[in-house]
Each structure stands twice: as C-alpha cells, then as structure tokens.
Amino acid sequence: MSADEMDEKVEYEGVPVRIGNRQWIMPSLSVGQAEKYWPALLDLDKHAVTTEEMKSLLPKKFDQMVVVIHAALSRNYKDLTITQIKEMVSIGQLRKLMLVVMGQSGFEQGEIKPAEQKAAVVH
C-alpha cells in the first residue's frame, strides 16, 4: 500500500477491500441507501434452485450487486462511477464484496458477520 493510500482520509469507517491494485474502505450502506436498495438486498438473499434459474438471474444479480457495492463505496469515494466498478471488479469478487457490504450494514449474510467484519479483506 502506498503512503497516499495509507494517509487517505475517508468520511465513513469501514472494512479495507482490495479491488484491482488499490485498497478501498468499504463503509456500510446509509439508512437511506438501505431503504432504496431494500428490494435488491432481499432479492440477492434468495437462492435460485436450478441451473436454468441461475442462468436467467445472473445478469440481473450482477447488476444489483454492482449497484449496491457502488452505493456503499460512493459514500467515501464521491466520484466513483458504476461503470468504474463494473470495469474494476471481477466476477469472482462480486459475491465477496456483497458479503462485506451486507456484513458492514448489519446483515448476517454468508461468512461475513458483524463481529468478523473488521478482518474482511477481499482479493
């Protein structure tokens, strides 16, 4: 991590995550963001049962995850765009980053729970 990244001041506390060659601080969603994205958060919590369902739902789920990840990161990085998130985040990172957002926001989702969130680093 460069000196600039270590000295970077962010408005909201969060979990450090590595996306690309940079470390970002992922805060929780604000109450307003959680209200706005509540339907997407609930939808993301559902599990498709069949392979066919997964194939038809994946593009929608990718978009929902990118929007939620962007919402959280944009609290600390005002100029960050959804397009930049889509270019930086790998498919393999999407789920891990969503677990961090949800853990930061108080949801007990997957392997990230609020008590464990400070140690979460996504590569």
Per the DSSP assignment, residues forming a β-bridge with 18 are 23
d(CA 111, CA 19): 19
- Report the percentage of the chain scoring pLDDT > 70: 67
Instruction: Decide if pLDDT at 91 tops 90.
Output: no
CA distances from 54 to 42, 61, 66, 95 (A): 16, 9, 17, 14
Closest CA to 100 of 39, 48, 23, 35: 23
Instruction: Decide if pLDDT at 90 tops 70.
Output: yes
Domain ranges across the chain: 3-119
Instruction: Decide if pLDDT at 3 tops 70.
Output: no
Q: Say if CB 16 and CB 5 are below 8 A apart.
A: no
pTM exceeds 0.75, yes or no = no
pLDDT per position as a tens digit, 31-59: 999 999 888 777 766 655 456 665 666 77
